[in-house]
Amino acid sequence: MFFIFDNNIILDTLSNARKEKFPSSLSVFDFIINESAHTGFISSSSIDNLEFVLYSEIKTTLNLERKITNKLVELAIMNLLDKVEIAKTPSYMEIDFDDIEDSQVVATARAIGAKLITRDKGIINKHHDIAIHPDNFFDVVKQEEKDIPFLDLKEINMQHFNEYEKAFDNVMKSGWYILGKEVEAFEKEFAEYCGVKYCIGVGNGLDALHIILRAYGIGKGDEVIVPSNTYIATWLAVSYAGAKVIPVEPDIRTYNLDPKLIEEKITNKTKAIIAVHLYGQPADMDAINTIAKKYNLKVIEDSAQAHGALYKGRKTGSLGDASGFSFYPGKNLGALGDGGAITTNDDELAKRIRILRNYGSEKKYFNEVKGFNSRLDEMQAAFLRVKLRHLDEDNNKRKEIAKNYMENIINENIVLPYVPEWADPVWHLFVIRSTKRDDLQKYLSENNIQTMIHYPIPPHKQKAYSNMNNLSFPISEQIHEEVLSLPISGAQKRYSSENIIRYLNLFEI
Ligand SMILES: Cc1ncc(COP(=O)(O)O)c(C=O)c1O
């Protein structure tokens, strides 16, 4: 949760006399600063006034030289800013002339969706929906902590609030919003991150896969091997290109394409294999690449769920001929809207993709082919550059939660994920299985734990593929009936994971 401290609370934490008189201010301040699940802010509008009051208080109590007093004030503010973040007072605030300072703090809190910690009775009465007196703080927090959401995107993104704000300002003031410096810089940084020569930003993950197929000239009359167990976008990309999807069943342990079952599906029409790194776990790429080489097929990775995952020490996105990424907000590397990218080491392919994503044009108003409008936009690229800097740290937090789940969920009715020794997954999702999946989900929900199902209906049973509804893919069907995704994210609190483990261990069939 996010909290803004009114100046009266900050001052309470700085002088001994105030600490004694208002002890709850200090305990609330310390709790917020030390609890990683919460972030404390000060409104940018408060700093000037804080400096003024501190100066007067030190002058009256200690009566020191002006220079020394100034230094003490500076140190106190520097020390405070080590602990709290500054939140910018919004330009669209409404000024309340009864108390301009209060209206600024309230506007700042509302702008970032924070609660305001204050002892000011006037604010509490007028803004009781967001203002909390420190004496009531712990009751409010306890109530909020009861619910465990599946994924709190606000919490995840607000961790980088200040960096986003700067990124927004930079793009806004640049006056250049499509295919500019931010996209170029992100493409370079993400290519480096994945360990490939090229990254080309596109509109979303589905377009990324579709454009790769188009760039290879795969279309009508061609067949593409896809996992029967995946998010439907993998299939849709093939269908958009005009080719036929040839589903292959997964390994029930990893939920990823089973290489042993690929060869029997290859015909003289097969042009490519799309390997999905589902739930953040890499597919068995060496085995897949060996088959592709034998039959001269392209290998396309669907890395939409696996930013940063490693296969035998190598990053996803560098393991096939080309790879599609999604930056949908819920992904490990998620934007604040749609976004996608293609990575490859193939010079010619990269060139064709750059043309295809931009109306089939390399030079403005000269169109070589009938291309698409599918470009990663400047604002999303700027936000993604912020997120990319924190991706490994965020993935490591996911790994810690996964380790905790793996070591401590002990219930024979629950199947935990299986990680082959060559895989270093990034846990986009932590997926368990149970033959009583629906009961389990209901039970967790009754205990305020939100879970999700990825995915309830396999692609071949969807209405969109009604021509395939009568086919049978029993492993996929079993997976779709039994899987349940537990909450996992870089912003997840330790107590949430502990609670989830406790309830799972108490679940009885
Ligand atoms: C495995 C997989 N492939 C492709 C996509 C498509 O990505 P996007 O939503 O950005 O189009 C997704 C997104 O959910 C996905 O999970």
* Two tokens, residue 180: 């500019």
Taking every pair of C-alpha atoms in the chain, what is the biggest distance, in angstroms?
91
- Whether 326 is in the pocket of ligand 1, judged by its Cβ within 6 Å, is yes
28 contacts 117 by C-beta, under 8 angstroms: yes
Residue 140 has a pLDDT of: 86
- Report whether residue 234 contacts ligand 1, using a CB cutoff of 6 Å: yes
Distance CA 155, CA 487 (A): 13
Q: How far is the CA of 328 from the centre of ligand 1 (A)?
A: 7
Residue 52 has pLDDT above 80, yes or no: yes
Query: Which residue has the CA at smallest separation from atom 10 of ligand 1?
Result: 205
How much of the chain is in helix, strand and coil states, percent to nearest 5? 50, 15, 35
Beta carbons of 271 and 222 less than 8 angstroms apart: yes
**How many angstroms separate the CA atoms of 464 and 368, rounded?**
33
Give, for ligand 1, the residue of 305, 429, 455 to mutate: max count of ligand atoms closer than 8 Å to Cβ: 305
Distance CA 155, CA 161 (A): 10
Q: What is the mean pLDDT of residues 129-158?
A: 91
The 10s digit of each residue's pLDDT in 364-405 is 999 999 999 999 999 999 999 999 999 999 999 999 999 999
pLDDT at 391: 98
Cα separation values, 278 from 80, 229, 381, Å? 44, 9, 24
Q: What percent of the chain has pLDDT over 70?
A: 100
For ligand 1, is residue 323 a contact (CB within 6 Å)?
A: no
Split at pLDDT 50, 70, 90, the class of 150 is very high
Q: Which two tokens stand for residue 134?
A: 């420190």
Given a cut of 80, whether residue 124 has pLDDT beyond it is yes
pLDDT tens digit string along 165-223?
999 999 999 999 999 999 999 999 999 999 999 999 999 999 999 999 999 999 999 99
pLDDT band with cut points at 50, 70 and 90 for residue 272 = very high
**Confidence (pLDDT) at 498:** 94
- In short, whether 230's Cβ falls inside 6 Å of ligand 1 is yes
Q: What is the mean pLDDT of the chain?
A: 96
Which among 277, 353, 262, 258 has a CA at the least distance from the CA of 315?
A: 277
Q: Looking at residue 239, what is its pLDDT?
A: 98
Q: Between 410 and 159, whose confidence is greater?
A: 410
Angle between helices 233-241 and 205-215 in degrees, nearest 10: 40
- The CA 337 to ligand 1 mean position distance, Å, reads 13
Confidence at 163, pLDDT banded by 50, 70, 90: very high
Q: Which atom of ligand 1 is nearest to the CA of 278?
A: 1
Give residue 348's pLDDT.
98
Binding site membership of 205 for ligand 1 (Cβ less than 6 Å): yes
Report the SS3 class of residue 160.
coil
Tokens of 306: 């696996």
Separation of alpha carbons 226 and 239, rounded Å: 11
Q: What is the structure's pLDDT at 10?
A: 97
pLDDT, residue 494, reads 84
Residue 144 scores a pLDDT above 90: no
- Mean pLDDT calculated for residue range 420-426: 97
Q: Is the pLDDT of residue 341 over 90?
A: yes
pLDDT band at 85 (very low <50, low <70, confident <90, very high): very high
Helix/strand/coil (H/E/C) assignment for every residue in 367-419: ECCCCCECCCEHHHHHHHHHHHHCHHHHHHHHHHHHHHHHHHCCCCCCECCCC
Gap from CA of 204 to ligand 1 centroid (Å): 8
